[in-house]
Amino acid sequence: MNVVSGVPSGQLSSRRIDTGRISLNVREAGSGPLMLFFHGITANSAVFAPLTARLSERFTTIAVDQRGHGLSDKPEAGYAANDYAEDIAALIRTLDRGPAILVGHSLGARNSVTAAAKYPDLVRSVVAIDFTPYIEVEALDALEARVNAGSQLFETVDAVEAYLSGRYPNIPAPAIRIRAESGYHRVDGGLRPLASPTAMAQTAKGLRADLVPAYRDVTKPVLVVRGEASKLVSAAALAKTSQLRPDLPVVVVPGADHYVNEVSPEITLRAITNFIDA
């Protein structure tokens, strides 16, 4: 197995790790306690660059292209919450650096909480950004429609940026550029998403599965983060989640939509560090 070692702060290493069940592409920096980052559906590890650049001063930060995404393996099937959680467990075991702090956005939050509930010995704590139980069907319908419409052919990176800017109107231009430059590859005479359309369709359907058992059963510390203007996690969904687990701390980020860590990286960074240092 290919095991990743720490990289000095400020130096980013991109490589693949064979976990024995799947090969995952990662971006790593820093040294110290292990902190893993898991992106949302259709995205990839690069979206966490502004956070890992800062957190790698204290931690070994490893941002992961999850299965079906980025440069990681893209099996034809296996995109339920448990499949992703098993990948997380296998990665932590392969790294062999002790329990990890998990930071996940959306799909990555779902997967991180699921992994922590199933494998508490492998996890120190979880930062779950804008994905909770009780998401309304209408919000999941809209998300699935956006996901299934994303597999398009673009002529240039500028065309990708224009599309992404319309799809994510609140994400700042530098973060849009990261998505455009990292999330597409040249094929068929143009640029197509690295994320597998088959995998995205299965993953989107899997997001409808009941997340209550994972949140109910998780014993590790979990910070719940919601964008105040999120169209995915409503205020009502957050309130019901807090009723389920009143012991879990909550941060609501003013002005941010679903893409909290890209729209408000400084506030997200402060929330993570305050939670870890508490």
How far apart CA 241 and CA 133 sit, in angstroms, is: 6
Residue with tokens 């994400």: 171
Distance CA 165, CA 167 (A): 6
Type of residue at 263: V
- In whole angstroms, what is the distance from residue 237 CA to residue 59 CA? 32
Q: Active site includes 39?
A: no
Which residue is catalytic, options 65, 87, 130, 257?
130
Strand order in the sheet with 34-38: 13-18, 23-29, 60-64, 34-38, 100-105, 123-129, 222-227, 250-253
Does residue 38 contact residue 112 with C-beta atoms inside 8 Å?
Answer: yes
Indicate which residue of 9, 45, 72, 106 is catalytic. Answer: 106
Please give the structure tokens belonging to residue 100. 């990890």
Contacts of 183 by beta carbon, 8 Å cutoff, 6+ apart: 42, 43, 44, 46, 70, 193, 194, 195
Instruction: Check if 106 is active-site.
Output: yes
Q: How far is CA 111 from the centre of its chain?
A: 8
| Under 8 Å between Cβ of 104 and 88 | no
Q: Which of 39, 230, 258, 264 is catalytic?
A: 258
130: annotated active-site residue: yes
The closest of 183, 113, 111, 112 to 152, measured between CA atoms, is: 183
Question: Per-residue DSSP letters for 85-106?
Answer: HHHHHHHHHHHTSSSEEEEEET
| Active centre residues (catalytic) | 106, 130, 258
